[in-house]
C-alpha cells in the first residue's frame, strides 16, 4: 500500500447520493471524468476484471464463444433495423473526416446478425451462441449513482442463433441458468421478473433485478408464490363473471358538474342514498395509437375510477405502436366525445375501438358517462349493455392487488437491472435476410435470442448490497485481493513477521494487499474496513505473544491465531 496508486477519502463526494457511489469513490475504486463517465483505479479495475472472469467462465460453460465487435460502428446496419432513429437522443452519433455517419454501439444485435450471416450458411453450423464483453455507450438522459447508470459502461452481451423455436427455448434456458449461476457466484441477491406482457410467450423476456432500495426499476412480487414481474408485465387477475339475472336496468341520471371521479362519487352518493366507492365508476380515457408506418387510430380505454392509468403499462400494451393523448383538434373532429361524460355507448356506436381493464368482466355494473353533458348512466352492465372490443393492461398496479397466479397479494419493491434474457425471434435475421440452407437445400431463417449482463454495473450492485456503515465488503469471488495484511505494531520483528506472512500467503497462491505504511493502526483499520477485502490479518500487539488476528470483514468476527498457523487457517477457510 505504500506504493499502491490509492488515496482514500474521508468525505463523501458532493455529487454522490447512493451508498455504493459514495463508497467506491471514497475507497479510491473509481473516479468521475464527466457525467456518467468514470475511470477505474487499480482496486476498482481488479473487481471489474473479477466480475468479467466469472461472467466469461459461465458463458464458456454453456458453449458460448467469445468474439469482440467494434464499439465505433457504421450507420447502415442501424439504419436497416431502424434503430438509428428509434434510439433517439440515447445514441451517440458522430461523423468521420469524410462525413460518414458513425455511432457508438449501445447494443449489437445488428452486427451479430451480420456476423453470423457472413460466416455461416448451412443448418449444420447451428445452433451457435456468440458473446462479447465490451465497452458500450448510451447517452443517458440522467446518468446517476456513479457506475450504476453510466454513459460508458462494460456489458456482456450474447446472441443465440437457432433454427427452431424449440432451439431458441433451449438457448434461452441455458442463458437463464448461466445467469443464475453468475449472480449466485457474485453473491448478488436478485429476483427474476417477467419483462413483457407475454405477447411472445410467457418466458420470452425476463429481467434479473438486484434487490435494492436505490434501484430505478419497480417490480411487484407475490411472497406466497414467488411470482415477480416488472410492473409493465403484470397481468391483472380478472374476477369471475357475474350472471346478468336480477341486475337492475341501467338508468341515466342528471349529474351536473361532475367531470371528475371525485365529483361523480359525491353526486352518486346523493342519487343512490348510500356510500359509493370510486371503484364502482368506470372512467373512459381516449388515446390515439399509431402502428409503425400507420395512421393514428382513436382508442377508448375503460378502467375502474379508483385507479390511475400507468403510462408505462399503457405504452407496453400497445408496443410497438406509439400512444399519444388527444389534442383539441381530435376532440373537435369527433363531436360525440363529450369531455368528462364519455361513455362506452358513444364510442362503440361511432366505431372507436374500446378496450377495458380486465376487471370489467361480464356482469359487472358501472356508473359511467352517458355521452351527454352533465349526465351519467348508473348500473351499466358489461356484456349486457355494452360489449368491449377487448381488454387492456393500462391501470396502475397497487400493493395488495392479487397476484396473477391467485396465490396472494402483490407487494412492490425496487431493483437494479443486472441481466436481461430475451427471445428476440426473427426481427434482426429478417432485417438482414440471414438465411441458411436446410437438409433439403431450402433456406431457413434463424431465430435469435439476446442476453445481457451489466458487468460494470455489477461492481456497484455488489457494493450496494454488501456494504455496511464502515465501508465496502467484497465477496471472495470478486474481491480485489484475497487477504489484507495490516501491520499495527511498530516493532521491527512484527514488520518482519508480517513480511514473512505476506510472502507465505503469496506463495500459497493468494493475492495479498499489504498495508506496510507508516500510518497509525487506527488509520489502517479504518482503511481496511473502507476497502473491504473479505479477510484482514492484523499483525498487532498480539504478535509479541506469537499471535495474529484474523478479521472476517463480512461477518465481523475476529479471532487470534498463532502466527505459525495463520497460513494454514486462512487457506482452510
Q: Which three cell numbers stand for residue 45?
A: 479495475
Shortest CB 70 distance to a copy of itself, Å = 5
> At closest approach, how far in Å is the CB of 114 from a copy of itself?
8
Nearer to a copy of itself, 48 or 566 (CB): 48
CA 375 to chain centre: 45
Nearer to a copy of itself, 7 or 274 (CB): 7
Query: How far apart are CB 47 and a copy of itself at their closest, in Å?
Result: 12
| Contact yes or no for 399/411 (Cβ under 8 A) | yes
User: Could you tell me how many residues make up the chain?
Assistant: 573
Q: Which residues contact 31 (CB under 8 A, 6 or more apart)?
A: 25, 38, 39, 41
**What is residue 377's DSSP assignment?**
E
Query: Residue 48 or residue 561: which is nearer to a copy of itself going by CB?
Result: 48
Nearer to a copy of itself, 130 or 298 (CB): 130
Q: Which is nearer to a copy of itself, 161 or 386 (CB)?
A: 161
For residues 151 and 175, which CB has a smaller minimum distance to a copy of itself in the complex? 151
**What are all long-range contacts of 56-64, with beta carbons under 8 Å and residues at least 24 apart?**
56/133, 56/156, 58/178, 58/179, 58/181, 58/182, 58/185, 59/131, 59/156, 59/158, 59/178, 61/178, 61/181, 62/129, 62/174, 62/175, 62/177, 62/178, 63/129, 63/174, 64/129, 64/130, 64/131, 64/158
Q: How far is the CB of 158 from a copy of itself (least distance, A)?
A: 12
- Smallest separation (angstroms) from a copy of itself to the CB of 159: 11
Q: How far apart are CA 440 and CA 444, in angstroms?
A: 10
By C-beta, is 94 or 251 nearer to a copy of itself? Answer: 94
Residues near a copy of itself, by CB under 8 A: 3-7, 28, 31, 33-34, 37-42, 45, 48, 63, 65-74, 89-90, 92-94, 96-97, 100, 102, 104, 111, 115, 118-120, 128, 130, 135, 137, 139, 141, 151-152
CB of 334 to a copy of itself, least distance (A): 36
Q: How far is the CB of 24 from a copy of itself (least distance, A)?
A: 14
Q: Which is nearer to a copy of itself, 115 or 203 (CB)?
A: 115
Q: Could you tell me the smallest distance in angstroms from the CB atom of residue 100 to a copy of itself?
A: 8
Question: Dmax of the chain from CA atoms?
Answer: 97
Note whether 305 and 312 are within 8 A (CB). Answer: no
Local structure of residue 395 (DSSP, 8 states): B
Task: Determine phi and psi for 549, rounding to 5 degrees.
Answer: -110, 130
Is the peptide bond preceding residue 466 cis, with omega within 30 degrees of 0? no
Nearer to a copy of itself, 151 or 551 (CB): 151
CA dist list (Å): 551 to 257, 504, 561? 71, 18, 11
Query: Smallest distance, Å, CB 25 to a copy of itself?
Result: 11
For 14-51, b/e burial (b = at least 16 CB within 10 A) is eebebbbbbbbbbbbbbebeeebebebbebbebbbebb
Amino acid at each position: 500500500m505504500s506504493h499502491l496508486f490509492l488515496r482514500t477519502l474521508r468525505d463523501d463526494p458532493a455529487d454522490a447520493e447512493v451508498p455504493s457511489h459514495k463508497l467506491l469513490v471514497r475507497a479510491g475504486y473509481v473516479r468521475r471524468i464527466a457525467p456518467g463517465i468514470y475511470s477505474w483505479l487499480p482496486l476498482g479495475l481488479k473487481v471489474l476484471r473479477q466480475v468479467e472472469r466469472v461472467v466469461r467462465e459461465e458463458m464458456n460453460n454453456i458453449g458460448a464463444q467469445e468474439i469482440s465487435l467494434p464499439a465505433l460502428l457504421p450507420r447502415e446496419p442501424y439504419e436497416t433495423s431502424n434503430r438509428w432513429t428509434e434510439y433517439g437522443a440515447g445514441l451517440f452519433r458522430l461523423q468521420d473526416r469524410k462525413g460518414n455517419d458513425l455511432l457508438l454501439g449501445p447494443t449489437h444485435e445488428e452486427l451479430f446478425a451480420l456476423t453470423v450471416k457472413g460466416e455461416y450458411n448451412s443448418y449444420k453450423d447451428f445452433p451457435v451462441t456468440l458473446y462479447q464483453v465490451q465497452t458500450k455507450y448510451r447517452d443517458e438522459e440522467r446518468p446517476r449513482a456513479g457506475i450504476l447508470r453510466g454513459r460508458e459502461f462494460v456489458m456482456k452481451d450474447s446472441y443465440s442463433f437457432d433454427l427452431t423455436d424449440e432451439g431458441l427455448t433451449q438457448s434461452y434456458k441455458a442463458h437463464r441458468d448461466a445467469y443464475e449461476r453468475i449472480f449466485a457466484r457474485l453473491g448478488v441477491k436478485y429476483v427474476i421478473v417477467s419483462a413483457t406482457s407475454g405477447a411472445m410467450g410467457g418466458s420470452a423476456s425476463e429481467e434479473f433485478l438486484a434487490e435494492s432500495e436505490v434501484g430505478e426499476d419497480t417490480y411487484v412480487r407475490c411472497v406466497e408464490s414467488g411470482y415477480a414481474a416488472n410492473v409493465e408485465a403484470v397481468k391483472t387477475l380478472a374476477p369471475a363473471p357475474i350472471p346478468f339475472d336480477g341486475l337492475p336496468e341501467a338508468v341515466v341520471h342528471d349529474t351536473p358538474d361532475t367531470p371528475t371521479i371525485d365529483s361523480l362519487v359525491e353526486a352518486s352518493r346523493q342519487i343512490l342514498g348510500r356510500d359509493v366507492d370510486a371503484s364502482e365508476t368506470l372512467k373512459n380515457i381516449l388515446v390515439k395509437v399509431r402502428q409503425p408506418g400507420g395512421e393514428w387510430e382513436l382508442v377508448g380505454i375503460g378502467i375502474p375510477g379508483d385507479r390511475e392509468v400507468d403510462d408505462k403499462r399503457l405504452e407496453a400494451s400497445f408496443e410497438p405502436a406509439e400512444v399519444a393523448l388527444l389534442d383539441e383538434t381530435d376532440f373537435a373532429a369527433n363531436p360525440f366525445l363529450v369531455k368528462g361524460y364519455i361513455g362506452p355507448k358513444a364510442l362503440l356506436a361511432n366505431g372507436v375501438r374500446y378496450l377495458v381493464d380486465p376487471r370489467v368482466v361480464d356482469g359487472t355494473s358501472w356508473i359511467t358517462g352517458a355521452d351527454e353533458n352533465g349526465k351519467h348512466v348508473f348500473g351499466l352492465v358489461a356484456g349486457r349493455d355494452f360489449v368491449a372490443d377487448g381488454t387492456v393492461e393500462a391501470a396502475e398496479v397497487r400493493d395488495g392487488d392479487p397476484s396473477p397466479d391467485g396465490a396472494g397479494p402483490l407487494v412492490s419493491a425496487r431493483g437494479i437491472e443486472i441481466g436481461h434474457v430475451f427471445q428476440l425471434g426473427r426481427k434482426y435475421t429478417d432485417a438482414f435476410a440471414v438465411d441458411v440452407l436446410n437438409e433439403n437445400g431450402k433456406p431457413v431463417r434463424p431465430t435469435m435470442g439476446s442476453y445481457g449482463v451489466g458487468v460494470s454495473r455489477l461492481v456497484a450492485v455488489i457494493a450496494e448490497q454488501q456494504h455496511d456503515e464502515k465501508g465496502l465488503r467484497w465477496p471472495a469471488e470478486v474481491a480485489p485481493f484475497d487477504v489484507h495484511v495490516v501491520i499495527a505494531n511498530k516493532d521491527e520483528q512484527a514488520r518482519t513477521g508480517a513480511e514473512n506472512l505476506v510472502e507465505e500467503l503469496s506463495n500459497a497462491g493468494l493475492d495479498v494487499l499489504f498495508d506496510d505504511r507508516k500510518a497509525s493502526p487506527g488509520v489502517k483499520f479504518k482503511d481496511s474496513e473502507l476497502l473491504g477485502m473479505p479477510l484482514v490479518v492484523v499483525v498487532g500487539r498480539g504478535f509479541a505473544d506469537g499471535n495474529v488476528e484474523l478479521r472476517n470483514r463480512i461477518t465481523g468476527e475476529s479471532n487470534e491465531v498463532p502466527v505459525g498457523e495463520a497460513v494454514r487457517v486462512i487457506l482452510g477457510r
